[in-house]
Homo-oligomer: A and B are copies of this chain.
Amino acid sequence: MQNFTFHNPTRIHFGRGQIRRIDREIPADARVMLAFGGGSIKTNGVHEQVRAALGNRHVVEFGGIEANPDVATVERAIALVRAEKVDFLLAVGGGSVLDGVKLVAAAALLDVDPWAVVLGNVKPSKVLPIGSVMTLPATGSEMNGFSVISRRATEEKRSFGSPLLFPQFSILDPETTFSLPPRQIANGVVDAFVHVIEQYLTYPADAPLQDRFAEGILQTLVEIGPKTLADPTDYDARATFVWSATLALNGLIAAGVPEDWATHSIGHELTALHGLDHGQTLAVVLPALLDHQRDSKRAKLIQFAERLWGIREGSDAARIAAGIARMRAFFESMGVPTRLSDYGLTAAVAPVVAHRLAERGAVALGERKDVTPAAVEAILTQ
């Protein structure tokens, strides 16, 4: 097992009716920005519950944070925070709203271009406090210090993080997710699944407990993913999906083991360039990447095939191929296609993505730093 530091200070309130907890979590004299996305919270009752819980506090609303939040939107939010002297940020929505709010929190107190924070050129030493009401399970942002921000102007999508950016609290009420469209649920299941894979399917590190926790999340997603897609108001299935998505990326299963994240890096480029949903990019890249990396990931690929899919027969190569095929079939069964051509793209994107990553120095991705630009090109050309 590798050495590690684990610290996750976010308080989670999980379950029906938990939105009212906001009242105890935010100071009574706070000046709150209530940030949200496209406005669905105004039709599904969430906005009403949140405003009721906020009571008489001074509240400024900021709507319109888009999927893959744009730094230009964040800049407008920061201007409002400053003008209104906001001192508490409440994100109500999915991972995109919260990720946008995290950049507001990190940059509002600094006199710099927010994009410099995203690039890691400026590290915040003090941030605005954040709370969240998560209505879309997928990114895990509700219980970690990471954020992914896009810059439409230059077709870029980048991630950053800080231990200061854990939400102080996050409220997860599965009922608030009942009205989500199937496509977002399907993408969310794929996203959570791939988060686990990025921290699990690398090389053995003598960490059997971390492996079992990771496999436990994967098994659970395979079991309840189709169920919660088919029956969105089955509370227990949805609750299990929501909690699985949170635990998939809250630092726990990464503690003491190597991590990959090449699939995410490549996927972000496909979203930035061609507008694919995040989950769609992962469903395309991961099967191809695992096949390309089948030698360096051999031991864990065999374990994955056996423990997740029950594949115990055949040669190593056959079991590995069968495990990857089962995973691809799972994504497809959730309604998320796994080939570039399904999205109207061709292998022509491969050299472009490889070049963009190389250009900014991302020339050695993956847990062994062996996913070179040439490998990226090969993966996207499969």
Within 8 A of B (CB), among A238-256: 239-240, 243-244, 247, 252, 255-256
Q: Do A11 and B5 form a contact, CB below 8 Å, given A207-B240, A223-B208?
A: yes
* Cβ-based interface call for A236 (8 A): yes
Q: Which residues of B contact A8 (CB under 8 A)?
A: 8
Interchain CB contact (< 8 A) of A206 among B5, B7, B240: B240
- Select the stretch in A53-61, A209-217, A278-286 that faces chain B: A209-217
Q: Which residues of B contact A236 (CB under 8 A)?
A: 1, 206-207
The reply to whether A18 and B1 form a contact with Cβ atoms under 8 Å apart is no
Give A191 Cβ to nearest chain B Cβ, in Å: 16
Within 8 A of B (CB), among A115-154: none
Q: Which residues of B contact A5 (CB under 8 A)?
A: 11-14, 21
Q: Quick one: which of A209, A220, A247 has the most chain B CB within 10 A? A: A209
Within 8 A of B (CB), among A3-34: 3-18, 21
Interchain CB contact (< 8 A) of A209 among B10, B206, B244: B244
* Cβ-based interface call for A372 (8 A): no
**Chain B residue at smallest Cβ distance from A207:** B240
The reply to whether B7 and A11 form a contact with Cβ atoms under 8 Å apart is yes
* Cβ-based interface call for A219 (8 A): yes
Interchain CB contact (< 8 A) of A256 among B1, B14, B224: B14
Interchain CB contact (< 8 A) of A12 among B6, B213, B244: B6
* Cβ-based interface call for A2 (8 A): yes
Give A312 Cβ to nearest chain B Cβ, in Å: 14
Q: Which residues of B contact A10 (CB under 8 A)?
A: 7
Q: Which residues of B contact A17 (CB under 8 A)?
A: 3
The reply to whether B6 and A14 form a contact with Cβ atoms under 8 Å apart is yes
Q: Which residues of B contact A256 (CB under 8 A)?
A: 14-15, 239, 243
Q: Do A255 and B206 form a contact, CB below 8 Å, given A1-B236, A240-B1?
A: no
CA distance A11 to B255 in the complex (A): 12
Q: Which residues of B contact A212 (CB under 8 A)?
A: 212, 215-217, 219-220
Q: Which residues of B contact A9 (CB under 8 A)?
A: 7, 9
Give A313 Cβ to nearest chain B Cβ, in Å: 19
**Chain B residue at smallest Cβ distance from A15:** B3
Q: Do A209 and B243 form a contact, CB below 8 Å, given A6-B11, A7-B12?
A: yes
CA distance A158 to B117 in the complex (A): 50
CA distance A8 to B13 in the complex (A): 12
Within 8 A of B (CB), among A220-238: 220, 223-224, 235-236
Residues of A in contact with B (beta carbons under 8 Å apart): 1-18, 21, 206-209, 212-213, 215-217, 219-220, 223-224, 235-236, 239-240, 243-244, 247, 252, 255-256
